[in-house]
Amino acid sequence: MHNFELYGYGESVASNMARVALAEKKITYKYNVIYLESKGEHLTKEYQSLNPKTFVPTLIDNGKPIPDSIDIMRHIDNLFPETGERLFPSDTSQKIQLENILEEVSLSEDKELGSTFGTVCGGVSMEVLANLLCKRPLLSVIWDYATKHPDRGRAPKFILVRLLGKPPTALYKKFVLNLANHILTIEDFLSHKKDFMLGETYSAADCCMASLLHRINEVRFGSLLESDKLPNLKKYWKIISNRPSYKEGIIDYQTGEWAPEIEKLYGNGPNTYNDLLWSEINKLLKEK
Ligand SMILES: N[C@@H](CCC(=O)N[C@@H](CS)C(=O)NCC(=O)O)C(=O)O
């Protein structure tokens, strides 16, 4: 008998990945919200004792903490291989292929922000993160991130963004251009015309993709997911966002903190850099 608890945040890419996986495996759990930038709850000693890197999500299985969204997926799939979808295939060549895809679509802290599809989706969230950080007094943000955030790569970025009140424009533009590149790679990858990343079978890669594409839509780059210029992506998004796990793992857990910040940034329209994104995509499509 397993007693599961999950620590996560609603609008967190990695938490969404883990919750989609839990939904696909039909696992129920007690849920604890950890407010990130707006309150800094992940930087408390109590949370750090569960997740030394202070990231969300963390799964607790009978009292044992399991940090990291991909490790959570591996853990639950090993425990219950026969329940719900098999997230990690047993076939050797599929296994290798999945590990290669996960390098691109996981939210790895070891990769430079923006260098993979996973981390670029973190990058384009930065305008919203800046607004949330600005809900807190400058000095308490500096103190928390300088003294309590163990990731020496990330902490200074959060402080800089809080100081400026937004990500540096050149950096955000770089993320947008990288996003154009990664999206075309995914579009090519999906040219196998099958339903899932690995082809016929659903896998952990699809849990990640559901969360990443949701983020793209959330920060108002959603025209990417509806365009006939990217037909494979359009079809894939329809399949993945119509699965019950999309609602059960992502939509049902939103805190509501992001929606007003997104409206402040973009009103009712697309992301401010949507034209830049599309001009890069059109350029890359022409070069093909
Ligand atoms: N490799 C980790 C990364 C988790 C991660 O980056 N989580 C983000 C939210 S999506 C976070 O905790 N951010 C807070 C911070 O870095 O201060 C995983 O996949 O679980």
The mean pLDDT value of the chain amounts to: 97
CB 136 within 8 A of CB 129: no
Amino acid at 224: L
Max CA separation in the chain (angstroms): 56
What is the per-residue pLDDT across 246-276, written as a single tens digit (0 to 9) for each?
Answer: 999 999 999 999 999 999 999 999 999 999 9
The DSSP 8-state label assigned to residue 227 in this structure reads: -
- Does position 70 have pLDDT exceeding 90, yes or no? yes
Residue nearest to atom 15 of ligand 1 (CA): 55
pLDDT at 94 over 90: yes
Looking at residue 91, what is its pLDDT?
95
Ligand 1 within 6 A of CB of 108: yes
Q: Mean pLDDT throughout 45-73? A: 98
User: Does residue 9 register a pLDDT over 90?
Assistant: yes
162 ligand 1 Cβ < 6 A:
no
Q: For ligand 1, is residue 14 a contact (CB within 6 Å)? A: yes
User: What domain range is 230 assigned to?
Assistant: 4-287
- Residue 196 backbone phi and psi in degrees, to 5: -125, 170
In this prediction the pTM is 0.98
| Most informative mutation of 66, 70, 107, 149 for ligand 1 (most atoms within 8 A of CB) | 107
Q: How many residues does the chain have?
A: 288
Helix axes 169-189, 231-241, angle to 10 degrees: 90
Average pLDDT rounded to a whole number, residues 36-46: 97
One-letter amino acid for residue 47 of the chain? Y
* Mutational test site, ligand 1, from 37, 55, 113, 152, max ligand atoms within 8 Å of CB: 55
Which of 34, 38, 43 is CA-nearest to residue 143?
43
Q: Which residue's entry shows tokens 């992502």?
A: 250
- Quick check: helix, strand or coil at residue 36? coil
User: CATH code at 165?
Assistant: 1.20.1050.130
- pLDDT 10s digits, 146-198: 999 999 888 999 999 999 999 999 999 999 999 999 999 999 999 999 999 99
pLDDT digits 0-9 by tens, 162-176:
999 999 999 999 999
Mutate to test the pocket of ligand 1, among 22, 33, 56, 124 (most ligand atoms within 8 A of CB): 56
How many structural domains are present in the chain? Answer: 1
Q: Is a pLDDT exceeding 90 seen at residue 288? A: no
Ligand 1 atom closest to Cα of residue 149? 17
Q: CA-to-CA distance for 126 and 53, rounded, in angstroms?
A: 20
pLDDT at residue 17, rounded to an integer: 98
